[in-house]
Structures are given as C-alpha cells and as structure tokens.
Amino acid sequence: MYGFKEITADQLKSLLDSGQNFHLIDVRSPAEVARGVIAGARHIPLHLLPMSIQDLERDRPFVFYCLSGGRSAQAAAFAAAQGAGEVLNLRGGISAWAGRGFPIVAPD
C-alpha cells in the first residue's frame, strides 16, 4: 500500500509508552494544531513537507498524523517515495487518538 503501513491509536500509544525513538509528525494546519497535539509531535504542515523532509533523520521510523488520516496518508506516501525507511500513518488521525481517550496537549 504505497510504501507505508497503517497504525492504530492503540499501537501508537504503545510505541510512545515504550520510549521507541521515531519521528511523530503532525501535518495539520496551524489553526488545527492550535487546538492540541499528541505529545512529542513535530508540526510540519503538509504543504511544507517537500521542503522539510530532507532535514529529518532517516534512521528512525516516521509516524504521520492529521485530523482523520487522509492528509497524513499523503504525507506517508510522499515520505516513502523519498526513500524514508519505515513509514506509518495513524489510521483515523488525532480524532481516533482522542476517541480512545488518549491525551492531547497544548502545542509548544
């Protein structure tokens, strides 16, 4: 499937809790990010990803998310096409994360 895999909110929570080192990238708009983020996420709006991806270390997995999973799937496909190693998309986005009762924090 386009060089990336889907991950559930529960699986992402397990990754975060395990302390695994990976890029967690929020590709939503600044207005959406202002409403809250998943702790540890780096904000790179989808339209800026082509100019920013070269600055990210490729020796770690990438996990992308947006509001519902559509834009982050585009980001994941792009990252995979650019040669990123392990690329994951949060199925259902931050909406699925919040729906499971996991925390959303204020952006940095």
In the chain the first and final C-alpha atoms are separated, in Å, by 33
| Active-site annotation holds for 101 | no
Q: How far is CA 23 from the centre of its chain?
A: 8
Output the CA angle 52-27-79, nearest 5 degrees.
Answer: 55
Cα dihedral 10, 75, 56, 87 sign = positive
Could you count the other beta carbons within 10 Å of the beta carbon of residue 85?
11
Pick from 90, 19, 20: nearest CA to 60: 20
Active-site pick, 53, 66, 79, 90 = 66
Q: Which residues are catalytic?
A: 66
